């Protein structure tokens, strides 16, 4: 496993972005308060850090880095649909459930969303409650709000 830390932009709620990768691609991306792993970079983590810097400087809206998240088949389907949400656009959990085939999937979609291991690149921050309110972001609602404001 490879680990790399990227300093967060100024005024971001957490000081570090922890990027984890394997030989296939990025396995996780989390916002953290401190560095807990020894840094050992690979081609995927370096590209991810480069693309994140471009995103934060408003020079990138789409990520090309290879992803390798681990999860159930349903979770992976949800994460794929999350990746289809355009930059700056916001969907509800209901919208996402309907993309998967049924409004009855709302709760399952919410659970899969909360287990997304590649925050930001798989843009779960773009999913809001049915009333348009910020809800359910593993990184914290302060980070979700920051990311949505960044994408305005």
Residue 139 in this model has a pLDDT that exceeds 90: no
Predicted pLDDT at 10: 93
Predicted pLDDT at 118: 97
What distance in Å separates the CA atoms of residue 26 and residue 69, rounded to the nearest whole number? 7
Task: Give me the catalytic one of 82, 106, 124, 127.
Answer: 124
The model's pLDDT over 2-22, given as tens digits with 9 standing for 90+, comes to 999 999 999 999 999 999 999
Q: In the chain, how long is the greatest CA-to-CA distance? A: 43
Task: State the Cα angle at 32 between 77 and 87, rounded to 5°.
Answer: 45
Least confident interval from 25-39, 52-66, 119-133: 119-133
As given in the structure block, the two tokens for residue 42 are 């690979």
**Helical segments of the chain, H only:** 43-56, 73-83, 93-99, 106-114, 141-150
Domain spans, the chain: 2-56, 73-140
Residue 136 in this model has a pLDDT that exceeds 80: no
Predicted pLDDT at 140: 86
Q: Please state, rounded to an integer, the average pLDDT across all residues of the chain.
A: 94
State pTM to two decimals: 0.92
Contact predicate 91/129, CB 8 Å:
no
The CATH classification of domain 73-140, taken from the options 3.50.50.60, 3.30.2270.10, 1.10.10.10, 3.40.50.11540: 1.10.10.10
The model's pLDDT over 110-135, given as tens digits with 9 standing for 90+, comes to 899 999 999 999 999 999 988 888 88
Q: Catalytic residue at 124?
A: yes
């Amino acid at each position: 496993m490879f680990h790399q830390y990227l300093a967060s932009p100024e005024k971001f709620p957490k000081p570090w972005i922890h990027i984890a990768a394997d030989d296939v691609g990025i396995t996780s991306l989390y916002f953290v308060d401190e560095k807990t792993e020894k840094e050992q970079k690979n081609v995927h983590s370096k590209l991810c850090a480069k693309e994140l810097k471009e995103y934060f400087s408003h020079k990138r809206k789409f990520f090309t880095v290879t992803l390798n998240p681990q999860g159930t088949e349903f979770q992976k389907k949800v994460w794929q649909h999350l990746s289809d949400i355009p930059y700056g656009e916001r969907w509800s959990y209901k919208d996402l459930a309907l993309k998967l085939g049924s409004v009855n999937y709302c709760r399952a979609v919410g659970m899969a969303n909360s287990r997304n291991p590649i925050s930001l690149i798989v843009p779960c921050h773009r999913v809001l409650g049915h009333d348009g309110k910020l809800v359910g972001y593993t990184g914290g609602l302060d980070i979700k709000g920051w990311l949505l404001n960044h994408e305005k």
